[in-house]
Amino acid sequence: MIKFDRVTKRYGESRDALREVSFSIEKDELVFLTGHSGAGKSTLLRLIMLMERSTRGQVEVNGRDLQSMGRGAIPGHRRSIGVVFQNHQLLFDRSVFDNVALPLIIGGYDHREVGRRVRAALDKVGLLSREGSMPVTLSGGEQQRVGIARAVVGKPDILLADEPTGNLDPALSAEIMQLFEEFNRVGVTVLIASHDLALISRLRHRIITLRDGTMVTGTSD
Amino acid sequence: MARTNGREGAVHSRTGLDDRLHAWLRHHRMSAADSLHRLLDKPWSSLLTWLVIAIAMALPVGMNVALENARSVSTDWDRPAQISLFLASDLEQEPARELHRQLVGREDIEEARFVSSEDALEEFRQLSGFSELLDSLEKNPLPHLIVVFPAEGAEAGTIAELQATLEAMPEVEQAVLDMEWVQRLGSMMALARRIVLAVGALLVMGVILILGNTIRLAIENRRDEIVIVKLVGGSNAFVRRPFLYTGLWYGVGGGLIAALLVGGGLWFMGGAARSLAQLYQSGFEIQGLGIMGGLNLIILGGLLGLAGAWLAVSRHLSEIEPR
């Protein structure tokens, strides 16, 4: 589903954010990506989302080589991936419902279909009763769950998460991870970047560890 | 009409061209409504922008309407040219009158007025106040005069030809074409039209730049939103659409207010123009923009709005990428 083949990402003249990274994530897998901050976790996710392009090497997502993907194809590529951001990236002047509906609006679904899917996604994350609320009135954990609902509402094949439990207490973090495991069980490929080793090592999934841009462990199972 | 749609669920398939068209139309409708709501949510700042655009559009349009009115006044002076025929000084009154009768019969002459040398002297005596001096003259120095008005609608060239023909007649000493003032007026109008065009072009550019800047600010204000929309897969066209509609609404509103301004201005001047026209025994009435003119102004405003928005969007939107 996601395949990196000797991928290097260099910023400027000398700093390599990623160096010769190779791994492959199969369909239906749930993989954790870990490493200290600055190790290249975010860069790796950004390459998958085509927010950046690799300097060398090949990134393949869903069978498509991202290097050869033109600018016009980027929006469609991003629609096929659900992303949960560390800082939630919610629209604070729109209701919870409108935030979750955004990918469907972009996808051009008709409003009945939008309503049905948004409520299903909100129900999944336990926020159905808050659909009319504004994001500022929600707690950090609830905002994160809105972000997750938005990521899965379009039924993507791949779900990426960048430090989804970054600002949450352990109980909430465990709950959020459970949500990801549930999505994984229904066939979504999940890649979660997290530095919370204590949490992720309990969960018994494959872990890819980065250190200074190189892979230390996790090439394959 | 029987529907031959046998496949269940085909309506929900999103790959069909029909569905894509519906989605596209739906987003257009939504963008149009959303951007209008945003403008109406801030009525005062929107009104200011509308007024700026309206004034910039009303100025050249108002000037043009004034110019059109001036032209209709000047064509109301229905005989712009007249030729004065000064007859040979030794010509007696009878052959002169005979010539006058001939001229009246000509097709290329609308009217000819005979002024005998006595009448002319009398008129001159009254108007000039040189009566004593004129009395001391032994002999009337003035020739007979025929004032010829060319047929209505005659071109300047035809009139000049007529003048030459008349001047060639043996009875005619000199044929003077009193056309200079018409030409002067004509060239003044042409100059005024050029000025209106130049001012108009400048103000049109001004409107586009003002709108471009307004849209640029709107884009800046919604930078975070644009980033998020692009992150979850919004295309450039999707992001662009609401801003183009914002420009359209600014332009349409500006055009509407411009039409009202021009209409109001003409109404304001109408009374004064009418009483002035009455003093000249003229039935002149100010001609306004009319419904079509107003509609054109609104459409023009909309187009300028779109142009300004396009300018801003094409320059600034592609710079905003998720970082």
Does residue B11 carry a pLDDT above 80?
no
Least confident of A43-52, A157-166, B60-69: B60-69
Q: What is the mean pLDDT of chain A?
A: 90
For residue B243, give every residue at least 6 positions away whose Cβ sits within 8 Å of its Cβ, in sequence order, or none. Answer: B35, B215, B218, B219, B309, B312, B313, B317
Angle at A176 between CA A216 and CA A64, to 5 degrees: 55
Which pLDDT score, from 0 to 100, does residue B9 have?
Answer: 38
Sheet of strand B172-177, all strands in order from the earlier edge strand to the far edge: B109-115, B145-150, B83-87, B172-177
Instruction: Say which of B232, B322, B323 has its CB closest to residue A102.
Output: B232
Least confident of B79-83, B107-111, B246-250: B79-83
B231, A110: Cβ pair inside 8 Å?
no
Which pLDDT score, from 0 to 100, does residue A201 have?
Answer: 87
Which pLDDT score, from 0 to 100, does residue B281 have?
Answer: 66
A91, B228: Cβ pair inside 8 Å?
yes
Chain A residues whose beta carbon lies within 8 Å of the beta carbon of residue B12: 113
Interface subset of A 74-93, CB within 8 angstroms of B: 75-80, 83, 85, 89-91, 93
Kindly indicate the confidence band of residue B277, based on its pLDDT and cuts at 50, 70 and 90.
confident
* Complex-level ipTM: 0.88
For range A49-55, the mean pLDDT: 91
For range A100-112, the mean pLDDT: 90
Instruction: Say which of B20, B231, B321 has its CB closest to residue A83.
Output: B231
Chain B residues whose beta carbon lies within 8 Å of the beta carbon of residue A115: none
Least confident of A190-194, A201-205, B183-187: B183-187
Give the amino acid at B89: S
A76, B233: Cβ pair inside 8 Å?
yes
**Nearest residue of chain A to residue B230 (CA atoms):** A75
Q: What is the mean pLDDT of chain B?
A: 83
Strand A206-211, strand A30-34: pairing:
parallel
Kindly indicate the confidence band of residue B83, based on its pLDDT and cuts at 50, 70 and 90.
confident
pTM more than 0.80: no
Q: Which helix (H) or strand (E) holds A13?
A: none
Does residue B28 belong to the interface with chain A, where contact is any CB pair within 8 Å? no
CA dihedral over B220, B222, B224, B226, signed as positive or negative: negative
Does residue A110 carry a pLDDT above 90?
no
CB distance B146 to B99 below 8 Å: yes
In tens, the pLDDT along A59-74 reads 999 889 998 998 889 9
Q: Output the CA–CA distances (angstroms, integers) from residue A93 to A90, A129, B65, B129, B265, in the order listed.
A: 9, 19, 46, 87, 42
Least confident of A1-5, A158-162, B72-76, B131-135: B72-76
Least confident of A57-71, B260-274, B299-313: B260-274
DSSP state at residue B106 = -
The residue written with tokens 């909100």 in the block is A122
Top-confidence residue, B154 or B276 = B276
A108, B20: Cβ pair inside 8 Å?
yes
Structural tokens at position A107: 């996808």
Instruction: Say which of A51, A77, A110 has its CB closest to residue B322.
Output: A51
Among A138, A189, A191, A190, residue whose Cα is nearest residue A168: A138
**Nearest residue of chain A to residue B27 (CA atoms):** A108
* SS3 label, residue B192: helix
Q: Whole-angstrom Cα distance, residue A85 to residue B17?
A: 33
CB distance A61 to A68 below 8 Å: no
Min Cα–Cα distance to chain A from B246, Å: 18
**Nearest residue of chain B to residue A91 (CA atoms):** B225
Which pLDDT score, from 0 to 100, does residue A220 have?
Answer: 53
